[in-house]
Chain A
Amino acid sequence: AQSVTQLGSHVSVSEGALVLLRCNYSSSVPPYLFWYVQYPNQGLQLLLKYTSAATLVKGINGFEAEFKKSETSFHLTKPSAHMSDAAEYFCAVKGGTASKLTFGTGTRLQVTL
């Protein structure tokens, strides 16, 4: 069984500031981890994924995430926020060969001037 906890349902940053969205996971088998972004009234877009090849994963739009097994974390970061980054972000985990994704509750990122 697996689960995901996203700390902070709402995060607000200034444009140009560091973005840090937190995700902690629990999995009984080696996990595969994903970050998705959802803009209003749209589906989910894959930002990046961890599949055990490298612990630091780079994704689209300047985002990256680091897999830390000791901390069971997969936090999403971006050095400099842009207004267009305002959206809902979901962390998800898949346990081994299981096909289902387990999603976190989401974090809404607000970017202010």
Chain B
Amino acid sequence: GAVVSQHPSRVICKSGTSVKIECRSLDFQATTMFWYRQFPKQSLMLMATSNEGSKATYEQGVEKDKFLINHASLTLSTLTVTSAHPEDSSFYICSASRFDRGIADTQYFGPGTRLTVL
């Protein structure tokens, strides 16, 4: 159990276009989802925390107007990179939080999306 999918796995777009990435929890409901960005050979950088039915909470330095997050249901969150530029090229990973055995919630990660902006 605890499978999280992301779509697409890879996207190449032209500068100035918008790209939408979907994150789905396939076999559990997730009230909280997270979006991370990972640069080559580096750790994950949390971009935002997304709660179902409410506005996302962005980390300091993350432009909320550029990275639009929508969490419309308990199994789906989307990240839209608006007016993408080459510097937005990166590996984007989502995670979904599941409350395990009444002890603590655990984040389960999607496979990631490689975004390349030309």
Contacts and interface: CB of A to CB of B under 8 A. Distances in A.
Interface of A: 32, 34, 36, 41-46, 49, 51-53, 90, 94, 99-101, 103-106
A53 B103 CA distance: 9
Question: What does DSSP make chain B's interface, helix, strand, loop or mixed?
Answer: strand
B64 to A, nearest CB: 17
A22 to B, nearest CB: 15
Interface in B67-94: 91, 93
A42 B111 contact: yes
A90 B44 contact: yes
A95 to B, nearest CB: 11
Contact of B109 (A44, A49, A53): A44
B104 A43 contact: no
A106 B109 contact: no
List the 5 closest pairs (A to B, CB-CB), nearest first: A44-B109, A43-B109, A43-B111, A51-B103, A43-B112
